[in-house]
A and B are shown apart, each in its own frame.
Chain A
Amino acid sequence: MRERKKSSAVEVSSVKKKKEKKTKDNNEPREQKEKEESQSIMKQQKNTTSRSKKEKQRKATEDYQSLRESELSGDEVHGTDRDVDNADDHHEEDQSDGSEGHRGVEESDSSEDEVAPRNTIGDVPLEWYKDEKHIGYDISGKKITKKERQDKLASFLANVDDPKSWRKIYDEYNDEEVELTKEEIRLVQRLLKGKAPHADFDQYADYVDWFKYDDALHPLSNAPEPKRRFIPSKWESKKVVQYVRAIRKGLIKFDEPKEEEPKFYLLWGDDSSAAEKANHLAYIPAPKPKLPGHEESYNPSLEYIPTREELNSYQLMYEEDRPKFIPRRFTSLRSVPAYENAVKDSFERCMDLYLCPRVRKKRVNIDPETLKPKLPSRKDLKPYPVACYLEYKGHKGAVVSISTEASGQWFASGSTDGTVRIWEVESGRCLRVLEIGEAIQYVAWNPLPELPVLAVSAGQDVLILNTGLGNEEEQRRVKDLLHVETPTAPDDNMASIVSWLQHDKLDGIRLRHFKMVSSVEWHRRGDYLSTLSKKLSHRIPFKLHGLPVSSVFHPTRSIFFVSTKKNIRVYDLLKQRLIKKLETGLKEVSSIAIHPAGDNLIVGSREGKLCWFDMDLSSKPYRVLKCHPKDITNVAFHRSYPLFASCSDDCTAYVFHGMVYSDLNQNPLIVPLEILRGHTSSNGRGVMDCKFHPRQPWLFTAGADSVIRLYCH
């Protein structure tokens, strides 16, 4: 029963038994016995690799001792061989009996051996009962039922709660959960690492030669050295020949020696590149001190040695600006004195390293060119005004306003000197000078080509003047039109705002307002006009918050735009109501202009910003261009070319390409094209007005320097 129980122990110690068995056969011839002994020892040594060395050693000594004893006894008492053997046997038997259980425990490594197996089903493969409820049968033939298993969820929860759960192992053979002790876990970990299971086992202990028979009386073997020990091995040479042949045939190839790249270290180099490779919290190397140069040599070339003047000039410098080191010459290295600042320098260096915070700067490597918006080249957007070829001189004061005739043959200009001049575009000839007598605010040419009349605002008056152009028939019509009977019966509403009078000196009508009139705009058909005065007074009265600054008629529909300082209001003239309010976001609007298609509006402001409104898009500016450093005085659209311009008190005019696409999905394209310079500043004012030629891509600019310039393409 016990034997069976300890089957594994028996297994382990079987070698022992065998040996013991052999010791029993003492009656066999001695030599053979010796041989057997040695063989068995050798075998034993081979077999005990898994055992602990010390045990093995111990056992070996024991064996040896017993062997010696037996030998001695054998030698000494030849006659009583049997007896001794028997006694020995007996003694051994006893010993083994007593020690077997003891040793079995001592020798075994597995925990199974320590605790007696509680499994009573016998040595039966477990898979026989894999799907059954019992694990086998006990000695009396009754079923041994399996322990009831917890379901997975419960066991998982239990595992979670139990901090020791990771140590628990289900022992299938014994059908129980075993909790591993710390030592056992350590042992498992060591095994996993491929080490010897016990920490105290020295795998590489020094070899102890137990069989020292140099000085022994009886060596283990007395046989003479065999001959084969002295002649070259036949098999070896055959093998060599075989290899040689294989090499010659090319069957065996040697690995070509790898050319190892020489490893260089940049001794003085920056360590940062090496540090960058690591993607963890990087080590930031300290900045390297400056390397010594030629001037630090004990015998530098002459050009490094400062002259007397230079030395004197150092004295005049501030302490911190002086060079730290002044090169000197010595005849030999021996004569170089000790460096007096060595300690100070290294101290400062240490302070630098210690106190200076080191931060890695992330540098973004972006080509600044790529950040620019993709705009078409200026060459592709020709024609646009580029150079000034013509100047119109004659005014004596700042030219405030200009207006072109519809065909582009003439234009009119009004100046602060109280005159309106009519010019011929192509030659620069001043055709007519109209003396108004008051500083002109605004001039506007009637958009109808057959009605050459000019609206001029000066002071509180708006004058509608005959330009004297056109043939006789046209002149007759104009004269008819411009004739008003002076004592008109005052209309109940209109008379309160303006009074229509015949101008006495000049040929025209005078519209008298109560306040200063700042601007005049004609309707596209040339039969209505709007006037903006300091106090709210329009042809069609609209309610406005704030003073009106500029106004413009829609080029195709009956819509009217009025801008106050902040906002632009859009009115429907037929229904006489507000349609829309555009929020500029500007401090002070100075001028507005409408695209000939009527859906886009540009607004210039006193702070130098230009807003482009796409009225289909929103009531906020589509784009705001900040280009002028000073006030924008006027903005203008070209009637047919996709151009617009702004002029400013900084004496420049900017020309932009402003393409509006008929495709509603495509936003307007705005490209700045050219800065037109040439005007000079006078009294802080620069360019006062700009207008495009109605048919050519030319721009007229009126300057405060009393010159009008024409910029051509």
Chain B
Amino acid sequence: MDMNIETPEDQNEENSRRVQVRFKTKLKPPQKVPSNSIAIPSNLTRFGLSSVVNNLLQAVNPEWKSEPFDFLINGELVRMSLEQFLLAKGISAEKVLEIEYIKAVAPQKEEEPSLHDDWVSAVDGSNPGFILTGCYDNLGRVWKAGGVCTHILEGHCGAVSSVNIIKSDGLKYVTVATASKDQTLRLWKFDAEELVNHPKKIRSFKILRGHKASVHSIAAETSGNMVCSGSWDCTISLWRTNDSDAAGNQVSIKKRKGNNQVEEPQLEGEAISTLVGHTQCVSSVVWPQQETIYSASWDHSVRTWDVEMGKDLSDIFCGKALNCIDIGGEGSALIAAGGSDPILRIWDPRKPGTSAPVFQFSSHNSWISACKWHNKSWFHLISASYDGKVMLWDLRTAWPLSVIDSHKDKVLCADWWRGDSVISGGVDSKLCVSSGVSIQ
């Protein structure tokens, strides 16, 4: 193939070896290069390979605008020069090397941060329409794209520690749940599509009492009928979300001072069951399937609970106090958890006979406060840390794909939003949105 390839390493091209490669991709035709094998210098890094591919694309399509790509060899991302990579992995350079390229995953744009009055302690981006945040000023907030606050959830008398959007497909009203350090959980309902000029204050329709200490985390069931919460009193409680059929509903007679809005009756609910087993603060719970709850605790364990039986099925002992947990990845089965050390660990519970993590990512410098899997991709997850960084990880490489360094202090929470943005809140009272993360 006679082709003029302009590479940044052109000057020292002659004194480096050449390898025969063939680029392939699962991308759509405008991003597809001809599948001929070409010889490229072996000292190219990801950037060099990316410019090679862009050149190839330009040769086919002159209007092609160059775009960063990431490269996979045998299912692993290339993070060093091609030569070193082949040496390290023991791949022969004699054969034609097949390199798969994907779009590079990195945030393209840093949006204007949404300012809060106090530390942003919790964030949920599971609804593409809005972002829900919890704050240390006892309020929850709902944000639209572009940094517009539409609703303020008012009612907690302690810092909000966790927020969760309860799935409510097809309904006009969106139900959300918040957990607070005032030992209660509250459920809220509002119309997300409603257009407002200034933030509308709403009150909870249901208060869930029963925890004897601060509630630390909350998670809703996939169907949206139940929520579970983990607390400092070492228990996990399960609650019903529906407003009608809960037994012992009481009409609250409390009056709210300060605003003249119509008083709605407040319901109170009690836990329908409590999962006891952790010996210390339950710092994080997730409820990815109908029948299992995963929980992480400061007693250094990750437990899997059977909801029907109310018993824990298995526990993984980690050795560090854990702050966050999330389930995702391949087959939605991998457990990612971070805690009181800078290492993000990923376990595969399907692997028998071992409780050793399958992946360990240790680029952070401080405690990890949040970790979230991408809901579509098997490989991507984010982690937030007290060192002020949010890192984007790919399981196929030990280095972070990108580091979002927009916070000035500790990052307390992070989530994905709309599948292509990373939202994070921290001690600097900002909700940062980094958009343009293209994950196919």
Are A429 and B367 in contact, CB atoms less than 8 angstroms apart? no
A427 to B386, CA, bound (A): 9
Determine whether A407 belongs to the interface, using a CB cutoff of 8 Å to chain B: yes
Are A389 and B340 in contact, CB atoms less than 8 angstroms apart? yes
Determine whether B323 belongs to the interface, using a CB cutoff of 8 Å to chain A: yes
Are B386 and A471 in contact, CB atoms less than 8 angstroms apart? no
A471 to B207, CA, bound (A): 14
- B366 contact set on A, CB distance < 8 A: 389-390
Are B410 and A407 in contact, CB atoms less than 8 angstroms apart? no
In the complex, which residue of chain B has the Cβ closest to the Cβ of A698?
Answer: B340
- A390 contact set on B, CB distance < 8 A: 366-367, 386
A677 to B132, CA, bound (A): 40
- A695 contact set on B, CB distance < 8 A: 280, 298-299
A96 to B138, CA, bound (A): 154
- B119 contact set on A, CB distance < 8 A: 427, 429
Max chain B C-beta neighbours (<10 A), residue from A390, A408, A427: A427
Are B281 and A428 in contact, CB atoms less than 8 angstroms apart? no
Question: How many contacts A-B (CB < 8 Å)?
Answer: 52
Task: Kindly supply a per-residue 1/0 record for chain B positions 354-389, scoring 1 wherever the CB is within 8 Å of any chain A CB and 0 otherwise.
Answer: 000000000000110000000000000000001000
Determine whether A713 belongs to the interface, using a CB cutoff of 8 Å to chain B: yes
Determine whether A66 belongs to the interface, using a CB cutoff of 8 Å to chain B: no
CB distance from A238 to the nearest CB of B (A): 87
A408 to B320, CA, bound (A): 15
Interface on chain B toward A: helix, strand, loop, or mixed SS? Answer: loop
Q: Which residues in chain B, 380-425, are within 8 Å of chain A measured between CB atoms?
A: 386, 410, 412
- B298 contact set on A, CB distance < 8 A: 408, 695-696
B340 CB contact (under 8 Å) in A407, A427, A429, A696 = A696
B281 CB contact (under 8 Å) in A407, A427, A712 = A407
Are A427 and B232 in contact, CB atoms less than 8 angstroms apart? no
A698 to B298, CA, bound (A): 12
- B213 contact set on A, CB distance < 8 A: 407, 409
* Residue tally, chain B, CB below 8 Å to A: 28
CB distance from A97 to the nearest CB of B (A): 125
Are A712 and B136 in contact, CB atoms less than 8 angstroms apart? no
Are A471 and B410 in contact, CB atoms less than 8 angstroms apart? no
In the complex, which residue of chain A has the Cβ closest to the Cβ of B232?
Answer: A409
Determine whether B17 belongs to the interface, using a CB cutoff of 8 Å to chain A: no
Determine whether B341 belongs to the interface, using a CB cutoff of 8 Å to chain A: yes
Are B212 and A389 in contact, CB atoms less than 8 angstroms apart? no
| Given the contacts A407-B281, A471-B212, A713 and B232 also touching, CB distance less than 8 Å | no
* Residue tally, chain A, CB below 8 Å to B: 17
Task: Kindly supply a per-residue 1/0 record for chain A positions 385-397, scoring 1 wherever the CB is within 8 Å of any chain B CB and 0 otherwise.
Answer: 0000110000000
A428 to B214, CA, bound (A): 16
Are B183 and A471 in contact, CB atoms less than 8 angstroms apart? yes
Are B214 and A713 in contact, CB atoms less than 8 angstroms apart? no
B214 CB contact (under 8 Å) in A382, A409, A696, A712 = A409
Are B232 and A696 in contact, CB atoms less than 8 angstroms apart? no
A471 to B182, CA, bound (A): 7
Determine whether A598 belongs to the interface, using a CB cutoff of 8 Å to chain B: no
Are A389 and B320 in contact, CB atoms less than 8 angstroms apart? no
Are B386 and A713 in contact, CB atoms less than 8 angstroms apart? no
A427 to B367, CA, bound (A): 10
Are A427 and B410 in contact, CB atoms less than 8 angstroms apart? yes
A428 to B136, CA, bound (A): 12
A390 to B339, CA, bound (A): 13
A696 to B281, CA, bound (A): 11
Determine whether B238 belongs to the interface, using a CB cutoff of 8 Å to chain A: no
In the complex, which residue of chain A has the Cβ closest to the Cβ of B385?
Answer: A389
A426 to B136, CA, bound (A): 14
CB distance from A504 to the nearest CB of B (A): 25
- B214 contact set on A, CB distance < 8 A: 409
In the complex, which residue of chain A has the Cβ closest to the Cβ of B387?
Answer: A389
In the complex, which residue of chain B has the Cβ closest to the Cβ of A409?
Answer: B232
CB distance from A381 to the nearest CB of B (A): 14
- A698 contact set on B, CB distance < 8 A: 340
Q: Which residues in chain A, 147-200, are within 8 Å of chain B measured between CB atoms?
A: none
Q: Which residues in chain A, 675-713, are within 8 Å of chain B measured between CB atoms?
A: 695-696, 698, 712-713
Determine whether B321 belongs to the interface, using a CB cutoff of 8 Å to chain A: yes
Are A383 and B319 in contact, CB atoms less than 8 angstroms apart? yes
CB distance from A709 to the nearest CB of B (A): 13
CB distance from B123 to the nearest CB of A (A): 15
| Given the contacts A409-B232, A696-B298, A429 and B136 also touching, CB distance less than 8 Å | yes
- A382 contact set on B, CB distance < 8 A: 319
A713 to B342, CA, bound (A): 11
Are A428 and B232 in contact, CB atoms less than 8 angstroms apart? no
- B427 contact set on A, CB distance < 8 A: 427-428
Task: Kindly supply a per-residue 1/0 record for chain A positions 236-265, scoring 1 wherever the CB is within 8 Å of any chain B CB and 0 otherwise.
Answer: 000000000000000000000000000000
A326 to B118, CA, bound (A): 82
- A409 contact set on B, CB distance < 8 A: 213-214, 232, 281
In the complex, which residue of chain A has the Cβ closest to the Cβ of B184?
Answer: A471
- A427 contact set on B, CB distance < 8 A: 119, 121, 410, 412, 427
Are A712 and B340 in contact, CB atoms less than 8 angstroms apart? yes
**Can you offer 10 A-B residue contacts whose CB atoms are under 8 A?**
A382-B319, A389-B340, A389-B342, A407-B213, A408-B281, A409-B213, A427-B410, A471-B212, A712-B321, A713-B320
Q: Which are the 10 A-B pairs with shortest beta-carbon distances? A: A389-B366, A712-B340, A471-B183, A389-B367, A409-B232, A696-B321, A695-B280, A407-B232, A389-B386, A409-B214
14 additional A-B pairs beyond A407-B232, A696-B298, beta carbons within 8 Å, are A382-B319, A389-B367, A390-B366, A409-B281, A426-B283, A427-B121, A427-B427, A429-B119, A471-B182, A471-B183, A695-B280, A695-B298, A696-B340, A713-B341
Which B residues fall within an 8 A CB radius of A? 119, 121, 136, 159, 182-183, 212-214, 232, 280-281, 283, 298-299, 319-321, 323, 340-342, 366-367, 386, 410, 412, 427
